[in-house]
Amino acid sequence: MNKFVLPEHPHCPHDHSQCVSDALSAAEQVCERAGARLTALRKRVLELVWQSHRPLGAYDLLETLAREDDRRPAPPTVYRALDFLQEQGLVHRIASLNAFIGCASPEHTHQGHFLICRNCRVAIELDQSLIHPAIAKVADQMDFSVEAETVEIAGLCSQCREAA
Amino acid sequence: MNKFVLPEHPHCPHDHSQCVSDALSAAEQVCERAGARLTALRKRVLELVWQSHRPLGAYDLLETLAREDDRRPAPPTVYRALDFLQEQGLVHRIASLNAFIGCASPEHTHQGHFLICRNCRVAIELDQSLIHPAIAKVADQMDFSVEAETVEIAGLCSQCREAA
DNA sequence: CGTAGAATTGTTATATAATAACAGTCATCG
DNA sequence: CGATGACTGTTATTATATAACAATTCTACG
Ligand SMILES: [Zn+2]
Ligand SMILES: [Zn+2]
Ligand SMILES: [Zn+2]
Ligand SMILES: [Zn+2]
């Protein structure tokens, strides 16, 4: 099945603090191995990105930082942290929402593919076993060398569809 | 093979005026059937979108309109035209570029899937015979009902790769 | 025709997202 | 310690998109 499947959902409560602590300790390891510095700020931004399984805008994160840090940071502060986290593969950007979400399996580098519910706004990261090969095959047919894949499927998750 | 394959490319000259006139006459038919009004402005914006096979930003289109129409239009003018053209399936939006491109086959409704060369910036619309089924299958496995698909593959086209 | 109602376009202002440029601070190593 | 480079703060600006309302144009009906 799909090792990226995450249980969190407005209709599916779970121990989300576990998700957060898993993400943070995975981040420590990834940065350790890469020789990159997971500073307090970067760690805090990652934690904020992981506050839910919904993509969050940079200005949402900024707002939260401002509420807690007292001295309001400016946009570049959060964008630089997000750039770093994306470089380390700890965060994905969702182009169709101008938003960011924590990566569900940062241990190996990969493109983020997502199912995004328009109702509850939860984004589920897919494993690539089906979609990536299809993309690779099409690209090969067209003699196109792939560098980045944006795959964002919008619709309704099962819980939201049943609720409606 | 791929009926969406388009010959235009910086390295592959072709009779692009044919692409434009085909797109415009297809648009007439689509709007006719839908009972929608392809006004002069909307037609002009569609023509501008089709000035190349590269996605163009709304402000690029606006700039061109301003240069020719003397009385400079404001952003809502071009955004409303683009909204209309998207509703009629005549134009796709490329989320990863904040840009717009003419649809290669507006006769039937579909999602736009693209290969986008980072060097020459040409976007090639794919047919969906391989990628769409993979998405449908994954969504089905996850009990997710799909409403929109954003698939934008960035990389290097064959001509640009060979040139490098 | 002539005009009411709807659709389209014009216009001004504003919201939202992201980056440029440069100054200050901190970590690390000799 | 300093010197160096990495990181963060700060100000200003650019890029993308929309809200709100006025003016115009089109359409259909009497
Ligand atoms: Zn969770
Ligand atoms: Zn949902
Ligand atoms: Zn052409
Ligand atoms: Zn190219």
pTM attached to this predicted model: 0.92
Instruction: Kindly list the distances between the CA atom of residue A14 and the CA atoms of A2, A9, A29, in Å, as whole numbers in the listed order.
Output: 18, 8, 24
Cβ contact A95–B152 (<8 Å): yes
Say which residue the tokens 């940071």 belong to. Answer: A73
The answer to whether B30 contacts chain A (CB < 8 Å) is no
- Model confidence at A70, pLDDT cuts 50, 70, 90, reads confident
Beta-sheet strands, E only, within B3-162? 91-94, 99-102, 113-117, 123-125, 145-156
Asked if A104 and A111 touch (Cβ cutoff 8 Å), the reply is: no
The correct CATH number of B6-163 out of 3.40.50.11310, 1.10.357.10, 1.10.10.10, 1.10.340.70 is: 1.10.10.10
Asked if B158 and A143 touch (Cβ cutoff 8 Å), the reply is: yes
> Model confidence over A99-145: pLDDT tens digits?
999 999 999 989 899 999 999 999 999 987 799 999 999 999 999 99
Of the candidates B54, B109, B100, which has an alpha carbon nearest to the alpha carbon of residue B80? B100
pLDDT of residue A25: 96
Backbone φ and ψ for A28, nearest 5 degrees, come out as -55, -50
Looking at the CA of B15, name the nearest ligand: 3
DSSP A23-85: HHHHHHHHHHHHT----HHHHHHHHHHTTSSS-B-HHHHHHHHHHHHSSPPPHHHHHHHHHHH
First CA to last CA distance, chain B: 27
Of the candidates B85, B91, B115, B118, which has an alpha carbon nearest to the alpha carbon of residue B104? B91
- B118–chain A nearest CA distance, Å: 9
Of the candidates A65, A124, A64, which has an alpha carbon nearest to the alpha carbon of residue A92? A124
Cβ contact A142–B118 (<8 Å): no
The answer to whether A120 contacts chain B (CB < 8 Å) is no
b/e code A141-157 from CB counts within 10 Å (16+ = b) = ebebebeebbbbbbbbb
Of the candidates A99, A89, A94, A80, which has an alpha carbon nearest to the alpha carbon of residue A39? A80
**Distance, CA of A55 to CA of A57 (rounded, Å):** 7
State whether the Cα torsion A58-B62-B77-B105 is positive or negative: negative
> Model confidence over B81-135: pLDDT tens digits?
999 999 999 999 999 999 999 999 999 989 999 999 999 999 999 988 799 999 9
Strand C nucleotides in reach of protein CB atoms, 7 A cut-off: 7-13, 16-21, 28
Of the candidates A96, A158, A137, A115, which has an alpha carbon nearest to the alpha carbon of residue A4? A115
pLDDT of residue B13: 83
**Distance, CA of B164 to CA of B159 (rounded, Å):** 9
The answer to whether B143 contacts chain A (CB < 8 Å) is yes
> Model confidence over B142-154: pLDDT tens digits?
999 999 999 999 9
At A103, list the tokens: 């990566």
Note the CA–C1' distance, B76 to C13, in angstroms: 12
Q: What percentage of chain B carries pLDDT values higher than 70?
A: 93
Cβ contact A133–B134 (<8 Å): yes
For residue B117, say whether it is annotated as part of any ligand binding site. Answer: yes
